[in-house]
Amino acid sequence: MTVPVTMADDRVVAKIVTEFFLNTCQHRRRLNMDTGSAMQRYSDIVCASHNDIDFIPLATGSVAEFYIEPMLSCVGDVDMMVHSSCRLATPQGQAPPTPLPDEFHGRVRVGEIIDSDFPGYVFLVSSYFLTEITDDGQYSVVQCRRHYWAHGSGREQDCEIQGPADVLKQPDKIPSVMGPFSVSGSISSTDTVPCVRCLSWPLQAADWQTRHKNYGWPDSATVGLVVSNGCDVVRVAHRLCRQDEWMSKRQWRLSFSRAEIVLLNSWMPVQQIVYHMLRFFVKNEGLTKIKDNAGSKILSNYNIKTLMLWACEMKARSWYGLMT
């Protein structure tokens, strides 16, 4: 005889599963395999600096966004954004950003961020040079000939190009196996994204900081921290422009990886757990490998992250309390 399953039974099972995840997803250790790989990549990038030009790396993606450490990791790679100490982007029409942080060189070329026909995609146009004149970070401003910045041809050796990233595979890593699941137990690749740093919050995203938040997330302190970090500009053209000889080399995309790090680290543990579970399910089921007729991936971790960020704005924090 089949015994019917009641809603009360479902709630009991849900509570048991929830308690399991809350008890097993501990706070990440200060140093584990993932953070160790990130530190090694960080060191490699810093050591590559030359001719008075420094490369400043920033760990992004899963290594920087997760503060929980679940039993089954879903961190498959190290993501690094790298900007040069002698180039800077600034919103169109904005006053020169001076003084500059200590990481920047004594002579910095500045490009204005100009809108393109595609939201989130921009051009960088040479505007002026900043030359340091005092030891306290004050710079003089010299206008220069205006021209569109091209991406440049500098790519790392032995790297596969994926969008704005140089991807270095590490096939020698051994996957871990637990029960029916087989996932990467260590870093399988490093993704390095060259970028141009913008110290100001871009005009293209100005409405985000003033948009009404129904349930107070993110709060004003978090919004202030996000905006104060500015953004980055990465070298990739819109998919409809990649076949165009001129556009493919001169169209850039705004990147808000710095903002995402702050926002995801402001989540409650249960929100990070839900995000991790979604990522794990999508990866384990191979959903990120499904492509459309044009060969483009239909679903990615970025899609999941965007949906989670929207859910955190649309749902009250007390709603997640029902899960605990």
Model confidence pLDDT, tens digit, residues 236-253: 999 899 999 999 999 999
pLDDT recorded at residue 76: 63
Tokens representing 322 are: 């029902």
List alpha helices for the chain, DSSP H.
7-24, 33-47, 61-65, 206-210, 220-228, 247-250, 257-265, 269-284, 301-314, 317-321
What is the chain's mean pLDDT, rounded? 81
- Predicted local confidence at residue 184, as pLDDT: 39
Domain assignments of the chain as residue spans, ordered by start: 28-266
SS (H, E, C) 299-324: CCHHHHHHHHHHHHHHCCHHHHHCCC
pLDDT for the residue 8: 64
Q: What is the DSSP letter of 42?
A: H
Give the pLDDT confidence score for residue 315 in this predicted structure: 87
N-term to C-term CA, the chain: 33
What was the pLDDT predicted at 183? 39
Q: Identify whether the C-beta of residue 285 lies closer than 8 Å to the C-beta of residue 256.
A: no
* Residues contacting residue 118 through CB under 8 Å, at least 6 positions apart: 238, 240, 241, 251
Other Cβ atoms within 10 Å of 14 Cβ, number: 12
Tens digit of each residue's pLDDT (9 = 90 or more) over 185-194: 445 677 889 9
The DSSP bridge pattern shows strands 139-143 and 160-162 to be unpaired
Please enumerate, as own/partner, the contacts of 180-187 that have beta carbons within 8 Å and a separation of 24 or more: 181/72, 181/284, 183/72, 183/73, 183/74, 183/280, 183/283, 183/284, 184/73, 184/75, 184/76, 185/33, 185/73, 186/33, 186/34, 186/37, 187/33, 187/34, 187/37, 187/75, 187/76, 187/77, 187/78
Strand partners, 58: 81
- Using omega within 30 degrees of 0 as the cis cutoff, is the peptide bond preceding 99 cis? yes
Rounded CA-CA distance 48/144 in Å is: 29
Residue numbers of the chain with a pLDDT score lower than 70: 1-10, 28-52, 74-76, 137, 153-159, 168-188, 321-324
Beta carbons within 10 angstroms of residue 240's beta carbon: 11
Stated pTM of the model: 0.82
CB 144 within 8 A of CB 121: no
